[in-house]
Amino acid sequence: MADAAAVVLFVAITMYAIFGGADFGAGFWDLVAGGTRRGGRPREVIDHSIAPVWEANHVWLIFVFVVLWTCFPDAYSSIMLTMFVPLTLAALGIVLRGASFAFRKAVFRTRDQRNFGAAFALGSVLVPYCLGAVVGGVASGRVPSGGKAGDPWDSWVNPTSVLGGVLAICVAAYLAAFFLVRDAERLSDEEMVGYFRVRALGAGIAAGVVALVGIFVLHEDAPYLYDGLTSRALPLVIVSGLAGVGALVLVLRRTRGVPRWTAVVAVGSLIVAWGVAQWDYLLPESLTVSEAAAPDGTIAAVLVATAVAVVLILPGFVLLYVLDQKSLLPEEGVAEPSPGPG
């Protein structure tokens, strides 16, 4: 039963990495879009893409925390006590980012729009970095078991955490660029399709370079994770690499629609590879899934609640995304492109 709860936890983490990651990545492209005139149209496409779904994307994070503290309380307390600083920064970034995104469209003065836009964009970089640093600290064994606090700084300021933070930003930007290519296609804006294609290629190459450097970092700083990634999780690593390269080839060939899902497979496989490589530890190499598990009755209740959520809530998420992709939701934050001649 504890294994089932751990699988649910990692499924939720994977979903948040994909949907929340694309959301944060859109903010990264907002940050680097340029000045008001040059970056105006890209920001309109970004707003159009995330406005209907950004709040729903972060429900996955809430679900992750609920499952972790309910089913694995010892691991939750150790992580929260040790990673208090980066998790607090991430929480502040999420709140600041969401409020700034909403206010940027409500204010009228250009100066205020710029200020709120800057806060939104900076929060979009801060949050994935901090969450990636937390993952790096956990994966490298810097979080002690037993509900104890580890070093508040070395736990997330270390080679593996820096790798995790930088890779999280690159992966988020990579995912977002593919989603934005698709949204620009839906808007029939060929200029923006080309604009985000270039950025998808750049982000993919950057993520690949960081991942290659990460091999050496993990070998020296997180040997248990490295051994798992090069043995039992190796097939998933290969799938992730092939899917990542395939997505770049498809976007180069201007294939419509397909590259986005290939990019999703690349990122999803990478997250699952981390889980498989770390198995059966929640905190390598000090706390296993079975040792961290709550009583069976508690886990059973969570699994039942999860099954009910799948039946009652998940269809709502699917409907939201389908309506968004079919452009059947109210348009927010973007003007439709002018029709071409003829």
What one-character DSSP code corresponds to residue 150? Answer: -
Q: What is the mean pLDDT of residues 53-66?
A: 85
pLDDT value at position 330?
63
- Tokens 């992750």 correspond to 64
- In tens, the pLDDT along 153-188 reads 999 999 999 999 999 999 999 999 999 998 888 888
**Position 329 confidence tier, pLDDT thresholds 50, 70, 90:** low
Average of per-residue pLDDT across 240-257: 86
Are the C-beta atoms of 180 and 46 separated by less than 8 Å? yes
Contacts (Cβ under 8 Å, ≥6 apart) of 81: 147, 148, 149, 150
Q: How many CA atoms lie within 13 A of 231 on its CB side?
A: 9
Q: What is the pTM of this model?
A: 0.89
Q: How do the domains of the chain map onto residue ranges?
A: 2-325
Q: CA 237, CA 233: separation in Å to the nearest integer?
A: 6
Taking only the tens place, the pLDDT of each residue in 68-116 is: 999 999 999 999 999 999 999 999 999 888 888 777 776 666 676 778 8
Phi, psi of 325 (to 5 degrees): -70, -25
User: Taking Cα atoms as reference points, which of 257, 260, 10, 271 lies closest to residue 132?
Assistant: 271
**pLDDT for 242:** 94
Dihedral in degrees, nearest 10, Cα atoms 299, 300, 306, 310: 150
Q: Residue 32's pLDDT is what?
A: 87
Per-residue model confidence (pLDDT) at position 30: 87
Task: Write the CB contacts of 111 (distance below 8 Å, at least 6 apart in sequence).
Answer: none
CA of residue 140 relative to chain centroid, distance: 20
Question: How much of the chain exceeds pLDDT 90, in percent?
Answer: 58
